[in-house]
Amino acid sequence: MRVLAALSGGVDSAVAAARAVDAGHDVVGVHMALSRERAEYRTGSRGCCSIEDAGDARRAADVLGIPYYVWDLSERFEDTVVADFLAEYAAGRTPNPCVRCNEHIKFAALLDRAAALGFDAVCTGHYARIETVVGADGAVTRELHRARDAAKDQSYVLAVMGTDRLARSMFPLGDAPSKDAVRAEARERGLGVSAKPDSYDICFVADGDTQGFLRERLGARAGDVVDADGTVVGRHDGAYAFTVGQRRGLHLDRPGPDGRPRYVVEVRPSTNTVVVGAAELLTVTRVAGDRAVWFVPPSPQRLACEAQVRAHGAPVPARVRALGPAHDAVEVELATGLRGVAAGQSLVLYDGTRVLAQATVTGAER
């Protein structure tokens, strides 16, 4: 197969590309330039897609002996991922930019370009597994599963891609036993990125100050922090900078009546108000979502599953049913309460290791 290997400049994508070469595929490496300020030079583990990363990706391609290109997707990234990030926070929701990057960039723009150029598949360094199942009628189904290494599993952020894109994707690291094993393999292959630290935080917020980034882009807008009964207990510079479940950085003027810590339980963008309350107000037992992506036939009947609302959060037993004529909305009942569910989060439903569906949280009930 002709395979386009996405080379981020990190160890995972380099080893994934190497495995694709070993498998006998005709591999071409490409680095996605996502930053509009290409002169910015970021070192260490914070951020990604810098000039440093592009250089590391090129050197990895040289070691593997494969062609290498840089594709400028910065405008697409700004207009989709960054714009969505800002719009969601401005609306009082909590987005996951990695999910949107996978949706709009890595498994939309990249796949579309790859297909137009005649490539059969895109290979990435994500930790997830694709299992091919052949039914009794001969029909072939490709399933998305958790990675062998649960600590590195990225099926949560990949669930937004859907079955059509899954059919044109390769995740060679899905069966890797650990990140240490991947680093050891990189050393054995002579890849200079073997000891490169993992990236973390939001890639387009280079200094890690998310509130500062939001304030710069959206502007300061002072408002009230109120208790559940409406009593003003503090002030803020913008409700968009807060998310449900947040405890730190509230700057409250007075302690809670019972002396216990208080958390953000609601963000009201229409009035620019942040509501705080006791921890028990964060627990919900019902979650609604829209923009559903299904890996199994959707059904209005309740289906047993496990629900997860954070990339590395613990899944909880649940039951889901599809809503609407297009089955693009879901209602999930949780067998046990789940804390800190915020509108805008990605809701992923599993059956064991298999991904069943993904949706964007629109609301939750206590």
Domain boundaries, the chain: 2-188, 220-277, 282-365
Question: Can you give the pTM of this predicted structure?
Answer: 0.91
CB under 8 A, 24+ apart: contacts of 82-90: 82/204, 85/202, 85/204, 86/214, 86/217, 86/218, 88/344, 89/214, 89/218, 89/240, 89/241, 90/218, 90/240, 90/269
| pLDDT number for residue 37 | 63
Tens of pLDDT along 315-338?
999 999 999 999 999 999 999 989
Q: Tell me the pLDDT band of 41, cut-offs 50, 70 and 90.
A: very low
Tokens representing residue 134 in the block: 């052949």
**What does the pLDDT read at residue 139?**
83
Q: What is the distance between the alpha carbons of residues 99 and 17, in angstroms, rounded to a whole number?
A: 22
- Mean pLDDT on 227-236: 91
Tell me the average pLDDT of the chain: 91
CATH match of 282-365 with 2.40.30.10: yes
Helix/strand/coil (H, E, C) string of 113-154? HHHHCCCCEEECCCCCEEEEEECCCCCEEEEEECCCCHHHCC
Classify domain 2-188 at the CATH topology level.
Answer: Rossmann fold (3.40.50)
Helix (H) or strand (E) holding 290, with range, is strand 283-294
CA 82 to chain centre: 13
pLDDT digit string, tens, across residues 75-116: 999 999 999 999 999 999 999 998 999 899 988 889 999 999
Residues 264-308 pLDDT 10s: 999 999 999 999 999 999 999 999 999 999 999 999 999 999 999
> Average pLDDT of 210-228?
90
Q: 338, 284 in Cβ contact below 8 A? A: yes
Given this model, what pLDDT does residue 204 score? 82
> The tokens of 330 are what?
């879901």
> For 220-277, which CATH class?
mainly beta
Residues classed as catalytic: 101, 203
Q: In what order do the strands lie in the sheet with 169-170?
A: 68-72, 26-33, 2-6, 121-123, 169-170
Q: Which band of pLDDT confidence, cut at 50, 70 and 90, is reported for residue 200?
A: low
Q: What is each CA distance from 306 to 156, 169, 239, 284, 285, in whole angstroms?
A: 12, 25, 32, 15, 13
The predicted pLDDT at position 36 comes to 65
